[in-house]
């Protein structure tokens, strides 16, 4: 199966790595060092602008404030629970936030806040599966890509700017 990558140069976050196969988007890297590590363990991965064209176009539209919902096929591997959390993330409206507790309740596991946080952190397709829209129950920015709270804040501010 054909796989490839491209880089979208975001003025908000810097270079964003996009990995796509023939079935859909496999991974998004919002940090350059994460993408470089991925390339090291996938040395056969080649740049493929054609294969990644639609994903790159929709990400560009998002950053221009022209797109609020992604319409891309996704290829994600994870546990049944993780996939349930990731589907729950896709239901959070653009420019809005919910708590980990609220997300746990929405997916039918009200006591699984920590597990929801773990699944959120394991999301291989941030931005498209908007894990940045989940915050602490006290309204504070917590737990994003390790400790990359600044990225979460930038993405939420961007969405508030363009929210219709």
Give me the active site residues, please: 131
> What is the rounded CA–CA span in Å between residue 17 and residue 30?
7
Other beta carbons within 10 Å of 124: 20
Q: Is 110 helix (H, G, I), strand (E, B) or coil?
A: coil
Helix axes 113-121, 80-90, angle to 10 degrees: 80
Q: Tell how strand 3-10 and strand 46-47 pair up.
A: parallel
* Helix H or strand E segment including 57: helix 49-63
For residues 104 and 110, is the Cβ–Cβ distance under 8 A? Answer: yes
Would you say 137 and 100 are in contact if contact means Cβ atoms under 8 Å apart? Answer: yes
């Amino acid at each position: 199966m054909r796989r490839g990558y491209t880089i979208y140069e975001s003025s908000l976050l810097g270079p964003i790595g996009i990995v796509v196969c023939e079935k859909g988007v496999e991974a998004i890297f919002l940090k350059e060092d994460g993408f470089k590590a991925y390339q090291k363990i996938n040395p056969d991965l080649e740049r493929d602008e054609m294969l990644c064209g639609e994903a790159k176009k929709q990400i560009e539209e998002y950053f221009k404030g022209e797109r609020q919902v992604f319409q891309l096929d996704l290829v994600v591997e994870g546990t049944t629970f993780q996939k349930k959390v990731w589907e729950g993330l896709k239901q959070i409206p653009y420019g809005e936030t919910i708590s980990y507790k609220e997300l746990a309740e929405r997916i039918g596991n009200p006591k699984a806040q920590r597990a929801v946080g773990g699944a959120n952190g394991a999301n291989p397709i941030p931005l498209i599966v908007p894990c940045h829209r989940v915050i602490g129950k006290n309204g504070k920015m917590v737990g994003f890509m390790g400790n990359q709270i600044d990225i979460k804040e930038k993405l939420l501010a961007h969405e508030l700017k363009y929210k219709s």
